[in-house]
A and B are shown apart, each in its own frame.
Chain A
């Protein structure tokens, strides 16, 4: 059985719930995340469901550099997520702060506030890259489970 098939089966059984949170982004990555859920890319075929609440989320998808205004909310959301939880940094800004690094109102990338499991670079990260990143995340979770 191919890796993708295994993941799709696991994902369908587990149905990881995903929460999308914009931490001060320009919206480009957010739009690409939504685009990844539309028919052409169809992220949902991997069983990932977009949900609105942190309390049931397995995966937190973050876009944008962490602005000082939003940092406390990001921490709160992360704290509300039950274990095991995974954080995906979508886009160059989320990875490192991107072009906004050094701006007075910006901290840096997501990992300056919370631990990150997967980094998906790109400005913005394309829907294909987002799917690739998500599959890698699901793969590594599957690997973890085997141990």
Chain B
């Protein structure tokens, strides 16, 4: 996460100035004029010591802990973990369970991408987009609550399968929801393809060439928007994906606009998959019995979370507690990419550029430390200030969402 510095740049001092009043900063930037010359991303903000805790708890307890690594892709982590354990234990889980897992997985992707679309709107000042997308998102939240019992942290997985079945009534409800959502998504795609203000604001921002994206290991929609042809669902199929017909969306804009297009188009693919799942859901049990003690062994489980490749490694030692659980969430793979995207770019672009990798950390209260080479001053600012600054910066250039916000309210 340490960007290399040229001879001319001043090294950003890392470490607290006032140890007693230290506020954890997430980004350390060096600024010359309005351009960022170097970026240090400091994570660890919500390091909770989960991997260690996993070794001290049973597999079933770990299932609930791991689900709570991230509240937006909780099913991703839960499924990735449970798949690794099932592989080690040699469990052949029923087809119906795989289909149900995939159903929840795609619904999670839909809620996540809609959430993202709203957040992206908020970051550039297009707040009505936030209201619209999150209103539609409630359709998915209701569906998930009906199917699993909770809006978030679904707890649908168990070692050996899933805990709840899908009834014909629920399937019917889900199909109706897909129709509504498809209609909205078509509108969002139209917006993304035709609304000049939005296109101008997102184009040429957060640029990563295909070559750099490959070198830096970009995953998920971030990587696919730079032409990287990778999707774990197709390349290393798991759950029911091997039996579904879907396209991997790849784009070549290499920028935030590309990342937007990839996500809205992925929504359509998700609806397609959900319909197939509901139509072809195999009969049968929803779980097999799993042993409490998992035999010695190890497995790597990969999953295409909404943000990209999520990788879990589990090592078992014949007891009821794992020997080692390693989680590499997708956002971690994209951190280097973000640092690269910000270098030599405008400070005003920072909020949307970071939001565009759909980071799995709360952006709203991150502290940013700016070392201004012109004024020779170091100051700490809150994220929201940069966001507002960015909106103002672009307003002056004629990219202003005020009218669009008003227009949306009329619709």
Direct chain A–B contact by Cβ atoms under 8 Å: yes
Q: Does B24 contact A (CB under 8 A)?
A: yes
Count of residues in A whose CB is under 8 Å from the partner chain:
38
Are B44 and A69 within 8 A (Cβ)?
yes
Rounded to whole Å, the gap between the CB of A126 and the closest CB of chain B is 6
Q: Does A24 contact B (CB under 8 A)?
A: yes
B71 x A28 contact (CB < 8 A): yes
B153 touches A124 (CB 8 A): yes
CA A53 to CA B50, docked complex, whole Å? 31
B248 at the interface (CB under 8 A from A): no
Beta-carbon contact of B52 and A104 below 8 Å: yes
Inter-subunit contact A104/B367 (CB<8 Å): no
Q: Are A30 and B44 interface neighbours, CB within 8 A?
A: no
> What is the bound-complex CA distance between A40 and B141, given in angstroms?
12
Is A85 an interface position by the 8 A CB rule?
Answer: no
Q: Is the CB of A28 within 8 A of B367?
A: no
Cα–Cα, bound, A99→B49 (Å): 12
Q: A72-B21, A72-B23 are in contact. Are A103 and B152 (CB under 8 A)?
A: no
Q: Which residue of A lies closest to B382 (CB)?
A: A52
Contact assessment for A124 and B45 in the assembled complex, using a CB-CB cutoff below 8 Å: no
- Kindly identify which residue among B53, B151, B367, B384 contacts A103, using a CB–CB cutoff of 8 Å: B53
Report A28 CB to chain B, min CB distance, Å.
2
Per-residue interface assignment for chain B, residues 80 to 91, with 1 indicating a CB less than 8 Å from any chain A CB and 0 otherwise: 000000000000
User: Measured between C-beta atoms, what is the minimum distance from A97 to chain B in Å?
Assistant: 10
Q: Is A102 in contact with chain B by the CB < 8 A criterion?
A: yes
Binary per-residue interface labels of chain B (49-91) against chain A in the complex, 1 for a CB within 8 Å, 0 otherwise = 1101100100000001100111110100000000000000000
Flag A14-40 by CB within 8 Å of B: 1 or 0 each.
000000111011111111101100111
The answer to whether B138 has its CB under 8 Å from any CB of chain A is: yes
A35 contacts across to B, CB distance below 8 A = 134, 137-138, 141
Contacts of B115 in A (CB 8 A): 31
Q: Whole-angstrom distance from the CB of B239 to the nearest CB of chain A? A: 23
Within 8 Å of chain B (Cβ to Cβ): is A106? yes
**CA–CA, A19 and B4, complex, Å:** 36
Give A60 Cβ to nearest chain B Cβ, in Å: 11
B47 at the interface (CB under 8 A from A): yes
Does chain B have a CB within 8 A of A105? Answer: yes
Q: Is the CB of B365 within 8 A of A21?
A: yes
Contact pattern, A 96-118, Cβ under 8 Å of B = 1, otherwise 0: 00111011111000000000000
Are B72 and A38 closer than 8 Å at their CB atoms? no
A64 is an interface residue with CB less than 8 A from chain B: yes
**Shortest Cβ distance from A52 into chain B, in angstroms?**
4
A22 vs B367: C-alpha distance in the bound complex, in angstroms?
A: 12
A123 CB within 8 Å of chain B: yes
Cβ-closest chain A residue relative to B64: A99
Does chain B have a CB within 8 A of A141? no
A73 contacts chain B at the CB level, 8 A cutoff: yes
Instruction: Report A-chain residues with C-beta under 8 Å of the C-beta of B362.
Output: 22, 25, 27, 30
Q: Is A65 interfacial (CB-CB < 8 Å)?
A: yes
Interface residues of A (CB under 8 A from B): 20-22, 24-32, 34-35, 38-40, 52-53, 64-65, 67, 69-70, 72-73, 76, 98-100, 102-106, 123-124, 126
Return 28 A-B CB contacts under 8 Å, by A number.
A24-B46, A25-B71, A26-B70, A26-B71, A26-B74, A27-B360, A28-B72, A28-B74, A30-B71, A30-B364, A31-B71, A31-B152, A38-B131, A39-B131, A40-B138, A52-B384, A67-B46, A69-B44, A69-B45, A99-B68, A100-B48, A103-B49, A103-B52, A103-B53, A105-B48, A106-B48, A124-B152, A126-B151
List 12 other contacts, CB 8 Å, given A25-B46, A28-B68. A24-B48, A25-B362, A26-B68, A27-B70, A27-B361, A28-B153, A38-B131, A69-B44, A73-B23, A76-B21, A103-B48, A123-B153
Q: B: which residues have CB within 8 A of A?
A: 21-24, 44-50, 52-53, 56, 64-65, 68-72, 74, 115, 130-131, 134-135, 137-138, 141, 151-153, 360-362, 364-365, 367, 382, 384-385
